[in-house]
Amino acid sequence: MATRLSKMRPTARLVRSLFRRSLLKNHVAISSRSMHFNYVPETPSKEFGDTTRMNFFQSITSALDIALANDPSAVIFGEDVAFGGVFRCTIGLKDKYGADRVFNSPISEQGIVAFGIGVALTGATAIAEIQFADYIFPGFDQIRNEMAMYRYRSGNEYDCGPLTIRTPCSAVGHGALYHSQSVEAFFAHCPGLKVRDCTAECLDKCVIVRGRELR
């Protein structure tokens, strides 16, 4: 046995040596290419007038601001959204539009979704935030069997189209198992729902589930 192992060791050392050389060669090649990379900033189109450079979260805040400004029936609710949310995507909106339109909810994802369904059925625009996508599963039944099915069960008399559920998903650097899941595939296979997965430069995501857009 010892003799067999001694014969294998030179081969193993050779394999490791070749592997390291390959890694070093590829690293040098990649580094060389990177040195000659020239960043060319994208020139904003003048088609839409003046533009403002924003990061991903600022663009979400801007979109929510526009929704509240253009639609007097629109409301935003969820855990901690009144002070801006954990990612500060709703910061300043309560002060601008009032506590009747931007307000905190109890810590109950099932309740958040159910409340949003009720608001949407009155014809108002409901924008619900689930703080992290990992937390959405307690509300899964409401989303799948109520929100998605309302148009079908009512013979197209009612729908939850005015309801948008916004939730961040994918990895958070320190988030571990309850802050890093990607749940969009579950909802992408549900008739009656529309999933929007908006990926920013840093691979942060915002999933928007809408009931109106699928017939």
Catalytic site includes residue 146: no
Question: What is the sign, positive or negative, of the torsion defined by CA atoms of 164, 144, 130, 168?
Answer: negative
Q: Which amino acid is at 178?
A: Y
Q: Cα(162)–Cα(75) distance, rounded to whole angstroms? A: 11
Q: DSSP letter at 71?
A: -
The angle formed by the CA atoms of residues 90, 138 and 213, to the nearest 5 degrees, is 60
Catalytic residue among 79, 109, 146, 184: 109
Q: Measured in whole angstroms, how far is the alpha carbon of residue 46 from the centre of its chain?
A: 29
Active-site residue, from 79, 129, 146, 179 = 179
Tokens 């369904």 belong to: 117
Do 151 and 158 form a contact (C-beta atoms < 8 A)? Answer: yes
79 counts as catalytic: no
Which residue bears the tokens 């506590």? 99
Query: Which residues 6+ apart lie within 8 Å of 137 measured at CB?
Result: 109, 183
Catalytic center residues: 109, 179
